[in-house]
Amino acid sequence: MTASPAPARVAVIGGGPAGLFAAERLRAAGIDVDLYEAKGSVGRKFLIAGKGGLNLTHSDPFEVFAARYGARCAAVGAWLRRFDADALRAWAGGFGIDTYVGTSGRVFPLDRKAAPLLRGWVRRLREQGVAFHVQHRWTGWTQSGELSFQTPAGERSIGADAVVLALGGGSWPQLGSDGAWVAVLRARGVDVAPLRPANCGFDLDWSPHFAQRHAGAPVKPVVVHWQDDDGTPRALQGECVATATGLEGSVVYALSALLRERIARDGHADLALDLAPGRSREDLQAALSRPRGRRTRAEQWRREAGIHGVKAGLIHEVLPREVLDDPLRVAAAIKRLPLRLLRARPLAEAISSAGGVRLEALDGGLMLRALPGVFVAGEMLDWEAPTGGYLLTACFASGAAAAQGALAWLRDRGTASDRGCRERPRDP
């Protein structure tokens, strides 16, 4: 009597949301799944990202949501059609995690915490049969084509019928996404765009006085003004934070791709801040023209224009001392404070990264054309998005797409290959 062939075995490498979700989808289809993570536990960046409140996704309508991915909106939109923001909220609901839409349209768990969701997710994956192997740092392939890992017990070689790589980008390397995979894939002929910071701060090289006095101060509310490449004026209201070297914060992150590319092209990027939204320049000029009597300049600015603290510091940083008592010049600066951004902050400090495996190096199932049977998901792909739930949603969606691609590839080859009967790898 002929024995039934063993199920196919897939190695998922990377324990972030994309890898975990790919593992979930593969295991649900009856595939044996081994998940390998370089750190001692999975989901570390997921936990840190949720420390101030887990922004799971966004309530934008689908077309608006997909447009957030810029030049990659068509490709990412295809992933989202398989698993979108509503599907992600329903998935979280399966763990008893109810969500709500905040005033900005962002979607959060009711308790705003990441840890309960991650704990429930990992527990369910273990119960479903996903085998977790932590402290396994992937280093590439052996000469015989097996996966190679560094472990506390030494080098380890492991076979698999297919592989899903979900190794993250290059931001927050202390949590595991250190970009070490770039050299490994390039050596195998995979086209990888350089990793660059996204959703990051920028340097303006403040004076020492400003940096010492105002670093860490929120600048809100503000309206940021800039021009598109064709000269079309644009504006975005939000808030930011002064750092020791420049600016960061949500309104800066939203423009980070544009600013980064402008700096690469021109050596700098120019913005203007409206420090008093809702008041006209004429109104401010009239208010600042009133006799101040025995009040100091700082007191006049605070009372008449609402400018004090870090906003006053910004005015002092930009305007020459000799014009600080000129109502026309000060009012103009309050409404359009010119700032020149010089550098993006280093990739290691960024919230996310741009660059990665170019989508043109993949087929429709997210399989590497240069490496049949190897699929890629998550932030290590060449796409980017602003904060607001878009990053996390696309990671989930790409994990689902990679799992679906791997399943289709395995079916085309037969559910179990000649390698599928090997003993399941065990941790030493």
User: For residues 125 and 244, what is the distance between their CA atoms, to the nearest angstrom?
Assistant: 43
CATH superfamily of 9-198+351-413: FAD/NAD(P)-binding domain (3.50.50.60)
Span 374-417, pLDDT tens digits: 999 999 999 999 999 999 999 999 999 999 999 999 999 885 43
Gap between the Cα atoms of 222 and 63, Å rounded? 28
Both structure tokens of 220: 């809100």
Return d(Cα 74, Cα 16) in angstroms, integer: 24
Which residue shows structure tokens 């922004």? 55
**What was the pLDDT predicted at 423?**
33
Pick the closest to residue 153 from 133, 173, 175, 179 (CA basis): 133
Query: What residue spans define the domains of the chain?
Result: 9-198+351-413, 202-344
pTM, to two decimals? 0.91
Kindly give the parts of the chain with pLDDT less than 70: 1-5, 415-428
Q: What is the pLDDT of residue 47?
A: 93
Mind listing the pLDDT tens digit for each residue in 322-339?
999 999 999 999 999 999
